[in-house]
Structure 1
């Protein structure tokens, strides 16, 4: 037990002062009806979609709340970057809100923060708002699942494939703002049974010169009556790569996006003793400051996500029931002591498994992604015995032995965290 520590109010205060990313769920409305959307019929655990738009006065409340923390970390001549994210639904359905938030942020007295803006969009309204996005230098993540067949789950309200509209808008953006497109536009492709890693990657790389992120369907929070349908739609990334016309060439191009190389990277990061997360680890050693159990992010250590209804969450990827606070019409309600206690209760219920887990040093399991988390006897999805860890170690080293060039490439080309 003494190898792990509980987080405290002070930890959360530190995270708020040094917040890296603030994300608003701009609206829960969307102009597409993607079958596999995390807010669609396959999943549960989110607030009912009601075509709401985030009210600006609530955004102002949370910005003012955080501003008081940010002032405590103010240091003259230092501008620490903070990313302001706009999420949906489809965020371009509520551009007036986005403009109000940006105008307000840029009206604040300097406190050593440099605001950057990012957005995930389906690109259906990109032609209408691209001038604004370029002006504010948005980092833009466009959802595109490849060619017309790959995009066929992304349909509009009339059931029509969104491919032609999205493809045309992306081409327009690239032709009108080539420098912006080259530097600030990225792509994400969801992997499913109508595309493949090779087809999605090749299409976007050949058409736009970009290497997309490839995301398998989320296998957490699936409705009990939709499990069969989910697995009919799901495609495993490693199996998809094996089906490629030239598997080894594709793996080489994907690099750390490829699951085996990603596993090797993770192994090198945690097990060599030569890679550190931060200065504290470098000076004190990884055992100098005990960590909380599991790979669950402490609240706001990476981001803060605000739902359209004002729920305050650690992340957009976890169920809304795990909210740590809320924004009412008049104030921010966030009890940091209670938030720390709630977080500790969830992660420490797996402490006995964590203590004997062979990969506790390199755990990436978020406990909020364990579907039966409310069952006190539930098992961690990623638990690994010492024997299983040894097999994993042998597998990683064997893979490195077969691909020795990866070691230098990882050390030279990859910045972790």
Structure 2
């Protein structure tokens, strides 16, 4: 038997308020005293009667098992064909690969070893075939979503209108929700009125105050910044229909880690227009980047300070206005990852299972690119042969979809011994053109993933120790 299977399958960690282990088999975080922690961590070899009793009590409560997954098989593998035939829930159409901006960190910018902006656009014929395909493969779904993606989708506003009209006819009887991701520079009165009338959910890309937005997001044709026009168009939406604006408009900001964090956070906090909007923040993706972003010390310190203040707000030690505007979703993420619940607790790891990470490819978010190629979602590299799951002409490749769903097989030797097995976020989006590189690319992300999971565990346990009630987020 391998050495790692002779030890309890746990991960130890400490915070200023306690000592803990994450029990992989039960999927629970357990608080322990310092002596037990030191013994389990190998710092103390002397197994005293006191420690022996505590270990016995833990074992009697179902913890400290040594079981590992032995066979890689996603539990939804066998029902994937049924879902692919009947339950596709969201269609995302890449109506164009063109963009009117040139953002250096964009995956289409040419600064990545994957793909570039091109002049390719989706024809009405392909769009209709995609909607037909969606109708045929969503028979068990009463509520569906159609999203529009680019490039910049409003370069093809007429196509979007034709798609909506066709979908309303083709998907009659279903409740259809529409969404679009945009840089908001092309929003005319006509487009805004159309979005409001059709109740579109709109995600607007905005990276912060003028100096940051204009540095990061510039027009392709004259290299000028976009801050003023984006803010003007956001205000125009709000003036036309404030209820629609607060319910349907969301902001996505890409944090430029070479710069400071506080100035971005303060911008979204102080501008009244963002007061009731959902704001999501992420850092620049380094997947396949030719040059890597380096997080500045200033950014890291300021981000951690804002997180600290947010925690103080949540436990009632600071007033609400001190809370970071960019961390509003983080507590919900902690809750989903760490809470003890019936659906997440288990007695033991099954012998046959699959780590966290992959979703049902193409079922939750079927992405159709401008040429009619089918992909699991819009986040994967669309030129990757590994990620392509079919075409509109030939249909879905179920064998490929099942391979993607069981992506752990590429790294199963490492995965089966990894403590972050259940909370892993690795999937096919980390891959590129060739399967030979896939294992290397997935494993390269492991330290970052495990670091994020451990930090989440620490934040969760500290908040629990301070009396924060996570159950109030269950709504």
The interval holding the TM-score normalised by the smaller chain is 0.7 to 0.9
Partner residue of 1:77?
none
Residue 374 of structure 2 is aligned to residue 312 of structure 1:
yes
User: In the TM superposition, what are the counterparts of 1:242-257 in structure 2 within 5 Å?
Assistant: 242=304, 248-249=309-310, 252=313, 253-254=323-324, 257=327
Residue 113 of structure 2 is aligned to residue 44 of structure 1:
yes
User: In the TM superposition, what is the alpha-carbon distance from 1:394 to its structure 2 partner?
Assistant: 7.1
Matched residues in 1 for 2:83 and 2:199: separation?
29
User: In the TM superposition, what are the counterparts of 1:161-240 in structure 2 within 5 Å?
Assistant: 161-193=225-257, 196-205=260-269, 206-208=271-273, 209=275, 210-223=277-290, 226-227=291-292, 230-231=293-294, 238-240=300-302
Q: What does the per-residue CA deviation read over 1:295-332, in whole Å, with 9 as the maximum and x for residues that have no partner?
A: 122312421111112221101111121211123xxx34
User: In the TM superposition, what are the counterparts of 1:49-198 in structure 2 within 5 Å?
Assistant: 49-71=117-139, 73=140, 80-108=142-170, 110-111=172-173, 113-128=174-189, 129-152=191-214, 153-157=216-220, 158-193=222-257, 196-198=260-262
User: In the TM superposition, what is the alpha-carbon distance from 1:163 to its structure 2 partner?
Assistant: 0.8
Q: Give the conservation status (yes or no) of the 8 Å contact 2:99–2:151.
A: yes
Cα pair distance change 1:275/1:168, threshold 3 Å:
farther
User: In the TM superposition, what is the alpha-carbon distance from 1:251 to its structure 2 partner?
Assistant: 7.4
Q: What does the per-residue CA deviation read over 1:397-417, in whole Å, with 9 as the maximum and x for residues that have no partner?
A: 652355432xx1x321245xx
Matched residues in 1 for 2:112 and 2:452: separation?
32
Cα pair distance change 1:219/1:68, threshold 3 Å:
same
Moved more, 190-199 or 249-258: 249-258
Q: Give the conservation status (yes or no) of the 8 Å contact 1:126–1:169.
A: yes
Q: Give the conservation status (yes or no) of the 8 Å contact 1:238–1:259.
A: no
Cα pair distance change 1:140/1:342, threshold 3 Å:
closer
| Aligned-residue CA RMSD (Å) | 3.5
More strand per residue: 1 or 2?
A: 2
Partner residue of 2:343?
276
Q: Look up the SS of the partner of 1:182 in the other structure.
A: helix
Q: Look up the SS of the partner of 1:411 in the other structure.
A: helix
- Residue among 4, 22, 27 paired with 2:91: 22
Partner residue of 2:364?
302
User: In the TM superposition, what is the alpha-carbon distance from 1:126 to its structure 2 partner?
Assistant: 1.2
Matched residues in 2 for 1:390 and 1:201: separation?
24
User: In the TM superposition, what is the alpha-carbon distance from 1:99 to its structure 2 partner?
Assistant: 0.8
TM-score, with length taken from structure 2:
0.71
Cα pair distance change 1:94/1:250, threshold 3 Å:
farther
Residue 417 of structure 2 is aligned to residue 356 of structure 1:
yes
User: In the TM superposition, what is the alpha-carbon distance from 1:341 to its structure 2 partner?
Assistant: 3.7
Q: Give the conservation status (yes or no) of the 8 Å contact 2:92–2:367.
A: yes
Partner residue of 2:391?
326
Q: Point out the structure with max Rg over C-alpha.
A: 2
Partner residue of 1:265?
335
Matched residues in 2 for 1:341 and 1:156: separation?
40
Equivalent residue pairs, number = 384
Matched residues in 2 for 1:91 and 1:114: separation?
23
Q: Give the conservation status (yes or no) of the 8 Å contact 1:120–1:141.
A: yes
Structure 2: which 5+ residue stretches go unaligned?
1-68, 314-322
Partner residue of 1:404?
467
Q: Give the conservation status (yes or no) of the 8 Å contact 2:254–2:283.
A: yes
Q: Give the conservation status (yes or no) of the 8 Å contact 1:216–1:235.
A: no
Partner residue of 1:339?
401
Cα pair distance change 1:39/1:236, threshold 3 Å:
farther
Cα pair distance change 1:400/1:178, threshold 3 Å:
closer
Q: What does the per-residue CA deviation read over 1:244-271, in whole Å, with 9 as the maximum and x for residues that have no partner?
A: 5x951487434893797467435424xx
TM-score, with length taken from structure 1:
0.80
- Residue among 69, 83, 102 paired with 1:33: 102
